[in-house]
Amino acid sequence: MKISFGRIIVYIAVTLWTLLVLLPFISVSVFGLKSNTAIFSNPLGLFDFVPIWENYVIAWNAGPSSDATIGVFFVNSGIIAITALVVSLGLSIPGGYFTSFLTRKWNQRILLFVIVGTVVPIIMLVIPYFRAFNSLGLLNNPWATGVVYGALNIPTAFLLMNRFFIDFPREMLEAGLIDGLGPIRTLTKLVLPLSKGQIVAVGILNLVFAWTDYQISIVLLTSRESQPISVGLLSFIGDFSADYGPMFAGLTLASVPILIIYIIFSRYVTKGIALGGISK
């Protein structure tokens, strides 16, 4: 079997791109094995240092003087991310689907209103959210914070799902209506099974944002037992010093769940990248 020169070039390009994408994760993982001195004296060195495996133990224990483990932060991050995912997809999918049937004029008006929500800086919402949560007694509540992240994800998720549903083949929708399916059953029985790629792609975008963001969590979740991983890792940075080795080790551990989720659902994401086709 002969391999064409063009295909060899494609394989080389894909390999180089993969290495380029993995380089940040590899660098952070290696930094997690170094001391502060090694990090600053030779940051690009991959082999000329003595690995300090204790950094990962310190990271797992959430710091050198903590009784808790990083597992507490993982649980809180999971609560926030899953809640945000349910809220954002639960509202953006039916919203994007039913608004796709509006006239072009009204659909554009709604999209313009939603776009405003994507350009508002998160930092502007911190104080209003804090005052609202403080008055409602919801501070240090990961579930409530997850709802906030879900609400922040809705505009982006709505825009992506609305664009996809507008391009959804109308012949298939008409066939469902002819078979006696109502609008809701058409969505649940026909449209959603054919939209797995797009839903998973949008869901992972929302999941990454809720997992990694700290601007909202650092204000609404002040107690250590309620903090997510993005805020908990800040404990490695003091007022006058920082333990960069354990901090990078913690960042490596924090990225593992997202990598696993992406690997599991990568085939759906690949199909849904364009957000314009039908996934089977």
List, for residues 3-37, the tens digit of each pLDDT value: 677 778 878 887 888 788 788 888 888 888 888 88
Res 68 pLDDT > 80: no
Q: Which two tokens stand for residue 57?
A: 């133990």
Q: 36 pairs with which residues across the strands?
A: none
Q: What is the b/e burial string over 107-141, where b = at least 16 CB atoms within 10 angstroms of the residue's CB?
A: eeeebeebeeeeeeeeeebeeebeeebeeeebbbb
Res 118 pLDDT > 90: no
Residue 121 pLDDT level (bands cut at 50, 70, 90)? confident
Res 164 pLDDT > 60: yes
Res 85 pLDDT > 90: yes
Residue 270 pLDDT level (bands cut at 50, 70, 90)? low
Res 142 pLDDT > 90: yes
Looking at per-residue pLDDT, the higher value among 94 and 5 belongs to: 94
Q: How many domains does the chain have?
A: 1
In a domain, residue 54? The reply is no
In a domain, residue 40? The reply is no
In a domain, residue 149? The reply is yes
Q: What is the pLDDT of residue 211?
A: 92
Q: What is the pLDDT averaged over residues 243-267?
A: 84
pLDDT cut 90: percent of the chain above it? 21
Q: What is the pLDDT of residue 280?
A: 39
- Angstrom distance (rounded) from CA 201 to CA 195: 10
Q: Which of 72-76, 89-93, 197-201, 263-267 shows the lowest per-residue confidence on average (mean pLDDT)? A: 263-267
Q: What is the pLDDT of residue 88?
A: 94
CATH classification of the domain holding 107: 1.10.3720.10
- Angstrom distance (rounded) from CA 61 to CA 58: 5
Res 174 pLDDT > 80: no
In a domain, residue 169? The reply is yes
Q: Which of 66, 72, 62, 79 is nearest to 250 (CA)?
A: 62
List, for residues 178-194, the tens digit of each pLDDT value: 777 777 888 888 888 88
In a domain, residue 86? The reply is yes
In a domain, residue 29? The reply is no
Q: Which two tokens stand for residue 4?
A: 């064409």
Q: What is the pLDDT of residue 272?
A: 55
Q: What is the pLDDT of residue 62?
A: 67
Residue 195 pLDDT level (bands cut at 50, 70, 90)? confident
Q: What is the pLDDT of residue 279?
A: 41
Q: What is the pLDDT of residue 238?
A: 64
Res 75 pLDDT > 50: yes
State whether residue 217 is helix, strand or coil. Answer: helix
Residue 195, domain extent: 68-240+258-272
Q: What is the pLDDT of residue 241?
A: 63
* Mean pLDDT computed over every residue of the chain: 82
In a domain, residue 9? The reply is no
In a domain, residue 191? The reply is yes
Q: What is the pLDDT of residue 188?
A: 81
Burial of residue 23 (number of CB atoms within 10 Å: 0-12, 13-18, 19+): exposed
Q: What is the pLDDT of residue 240?
A: 55
Res 274 pLDDT > 60: no
